[in-house]
Amino acid sequence: MKKIIAVSDSHGNIAGLKSIEPLFEKADYIFHTGDYFRDIRAFCPKYENKIYAVMGNCDGGGEEYVFEAEGMKILLVHGDRYHVKSGLKRLMAHAEELGVKAVFFGHTHRAEIIICNGITYINPGAMSRFGQKSYCAATIGNGEISAEIVKI
C-alpha cells in the first residue's frame, strides 16, 4: 500500500503546507490540485519525485493529468473546467470516459469524498489562508483506494 497526501487551493499559504510537511516525508505521492499550485513547488527540492500538481483557474489553469499508480488509473484536475461548483455531473462523465478509478479535484474549497459508479471522487478542500483548512490522506494498492479528509 502506498500513501497519498492531497491538497488543493493553497492560495499562497505556504505556512499551512509547511505545517503538514512531516506528512510529505512519509507519503509516496503528494498531489496539489491547483490554485497556487506553485506553492507546492517550494517543496520540490526535497520531494521532487513525489509531487504531482496541476494548474487551477488562478494559475492560468485548465490542466489535467491522468496516470497510473499501484494498478489504479487516477485523474488529477482542478475542476473549474467541469463547473464543479454547480455539481459533479460533468466531471463524472469525463472520469467515466477516461476509465479512471479515482479523481482528485479542487476549486470548491469544500472537502468531500464521493463514490459513484465505482469511481472515488476526492476534493481535499482548501489549504488557503481563509476558512477551514483540510487535506486528504489516502492509501492505494491492488487497484483500491481508501481516503479520509483531515481538518486542521
**Cell for 53?**
500538481
The reported pTM is 0.96
Closest-CA residue to 4 (of 24, 19, 34): 24
Tens of pLDDT, residue by residue over 101-116, are 999 999 999 999 999 9
pLDDT at 87: 97
Distance CA 34, CA 27 (A): 19
pLDDT value at residue 139: 98
Residue 101: the pLDDT is 98
- pLDDT, residue 129, reads 79
Confidence check: pLDDT of 130 > 90: no
24, pLDDT greater than 90? yes
User: Does the pLDDT at position 25 exceed 80?
Assistant: yes
Write the secondary structure of 14-73 as one string of H (helix), E (strand) and C (coil): HHHHHHCHHHHHHCCEEEECCCCCHHHHCCHHHHCCCEEECCCHHHCCCCEEEEEECCEE
Mean pLDDT of the chain: 95
The DSSP bridge pattern shows strands 29-32 and 102-104 to be unpaired
Residue 84 is predicted with a pLDDT of 97
Residue 21 pLDDT more than 90?
yes
